[in-house]
């Protein structure tokens, strides 16, 4: 056969569906083709004929059919490995057939292609290196825990320890400014590189001294440090985390404290965001207590149930939010149409809003027992308030509208009581 192509190796990619692959590799026998898959970085050899079948087309190209489709994204490597043998015996005086001679020449060409492929993927000397003329470059056998490096005089290679590179002892430690760690131990190296201290990696429970810093620490402002141990420091640090969990006896533990961002005395000016998961005995608890003033998710006590948020003041975008405080008096007897009443409202300042209602205690004017009627100035009502008390004055008639007809009527004092409500907003 002719050999028009010089391929001894082909590479394809599996899609999880296709099982047939045409190659540009010419072979003499199905056993000359070797295949392996690379799946997730693992090389998996395939065997003929257990894993695949080979059809040799004209002029000798290999067509492969797998029993199972290669996984999607897998790399399929086809390569030829022609046996390095000479199976033809030329007898003196015999007739030399053209096909016999061509087959022998084909095998030589195929082997040369395979050798070229192998050499092209090997580490080789430059063309300028004279390997034949003496002295030959030195190339020592492998040695345990040694690096193969070029000699200073360029005469070959030698095995050396890492500390002896360059032909002279290497100065250890290498300074951080030169790309090293400036240390001879892992713990010191981590500390110098700003990624920990001598106790960063622990194999057992550790007792931390006060103000143990893990990471880079600047004594003036401590930017970006992680502080583990004493949680009672009063300084404010950017990117700081503090925490202690001390067993105080009887299974009681002091709370852990976490500070993220730079603290501020001005509400609404804090920066940063933090997700806090409080744990007790390794199990997340239902509440998070922040600085004694904010409780989220406490199942009992002052938090009043799961998901409650308690705080002295609330801010949105730096502005203080207003929350009302309410009060009121119910079922105040009405002694006569000329009715006056006053009482303490219990607030620290006069109410922001106040209003009065009549509540029906005996059916009248279409109203049923329990019905409420708004009682305003148009009904002859006056409401007053100061810093301590709130009062009401009715000018002589309980004027309301009939529930069904809408006609103006006068309510009987004996059939109604007064309800009084007030609200104060914290602004």
Report CA-CA distances (Å) from 86 to 81, 89, 102, 106. 15, 8, 13, 12
At 379 the three-state DSSP class reads helix
The whole-model pTM stands at 0.39
DSSP 138: B
Cα–Cα distance between 324 and 112 in angstroms, integer? 93
Residue (of 178, 160, 157) closest to 169 by Cα position: 160
CA atoms within 13 A on the CB side of 202: 10
Does residue 302 register a pLDDT over 50? no
114 contact partners, CB below 8 Å, separation of at least 6: 8, 79, 80, 81, 82
Alpha helices in 121-238 (DSSP H): 186-192
- Which residues, at least 6 apart from 26, have a Cβ–Cβ distance to it below 8 Å? 1, 3, 5, 7, 59, 60, 61, 62, 80, 110
- pLDDT-derived band of residue 225, with 50, 70 and 90 as boundaries? very low
Domains of the chain (ranges; CATH) run 9-118 (no CATH), 324-425 (2.60.40)
Q: What is the pLDDT of residues 156-202, one digit of tens each?
A: 888 887 767 655 556 667 888 877 888 888 878 877 887 654 444 45
CB 370 within 8 A of CB 353: no
The lowest-confidence range among 24-33, 156-165, 216-225 is 216-225
Q: How many residues does the chain have?
A: 427
d(CA 21, CA 51): 14
């Amino acid at each position: 056969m002719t050999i028009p192509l010089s391929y001894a190796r082909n590479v394809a990619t599996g899609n999880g569906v296709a099982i047939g692959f045409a190659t540009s590799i010419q072979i003499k026998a199905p056993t000359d083709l070797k295949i392996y898959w690379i799946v997730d970085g693992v090389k998996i050899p395939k065997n003929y004929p257990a894993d695949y079948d080979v059809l040799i087309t004209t002029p000798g190209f290999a067509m492969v059919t797998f029993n199972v489709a290669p996984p999607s994204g897998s790399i399929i490597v086809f390569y030829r490995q022609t046996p390095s043998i000479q199976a033809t015996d030329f007898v003196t005086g015999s007739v030399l057939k053209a096909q016999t001679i061509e087959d022998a020449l084909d095998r030589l060409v195929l082997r040369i292609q395979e050798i070229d492929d192998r050499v092209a993927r090997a580490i080789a000397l430059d063309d300028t290196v004279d390997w034949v003329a003496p002295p030959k470059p030195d190339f020592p056998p492998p040695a345990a825990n040694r690096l193969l490096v070029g000699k200073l005089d360029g005469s070959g290679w030698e095995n050396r320890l890492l500390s002896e590179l360059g032909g002279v002892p290497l100065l250890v430690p290498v300074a951080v400014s030169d790309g090293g760690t400036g240390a001879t131990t892992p713990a010191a190296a981590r500390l110098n590189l700003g990624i920990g201290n001598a106790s960063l990696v622990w194999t057992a429970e550790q007792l931390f001294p006060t103000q143990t810093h893990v990471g880079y620490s600047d004594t003036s402002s401590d930017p970006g440090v992680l502080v583990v141990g004493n949680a009672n420091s009063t300084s404010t640090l950017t990117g700081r985390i503090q925490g202690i969990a001390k067993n105080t006896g009887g299974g009681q533990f002091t709370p852990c404290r976490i500070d993220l961002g730079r603290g501020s005395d001005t509400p609404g000016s804090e920066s940063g965001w933090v997700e806090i998961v409080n744990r007790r005995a390794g199990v997340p608890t239902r509440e998070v207590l922040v600085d004694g003033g904010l409780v989220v998710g406490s199942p009992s006590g002052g938090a009043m149930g799961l998901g409650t948020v308690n705080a002295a003041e609330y801010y949105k975008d730096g502005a203080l939010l207003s929350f009302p405080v309410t009060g009121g008096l119910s079922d105040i007897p009405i002694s006569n149409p000329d009715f006056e009443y006053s009482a303490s409202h219990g607030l620290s300042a006069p109410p922001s809003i106040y209003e009065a209602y009549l509540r029906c205690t005996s059916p009248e004017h279409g109203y049923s027992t329990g019905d409420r009627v708004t009682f305003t100035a148009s009904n002859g009502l006056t409401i007053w308030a100061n810093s301590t008390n709130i009062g009401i004055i009715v000018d002589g008639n309980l004027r309301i509208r009939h529930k069904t007809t809408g006609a103006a009527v006068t309510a009987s004092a004996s059939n109604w009581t007064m309800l009084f409500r007030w609200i104060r907003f914290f602004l």
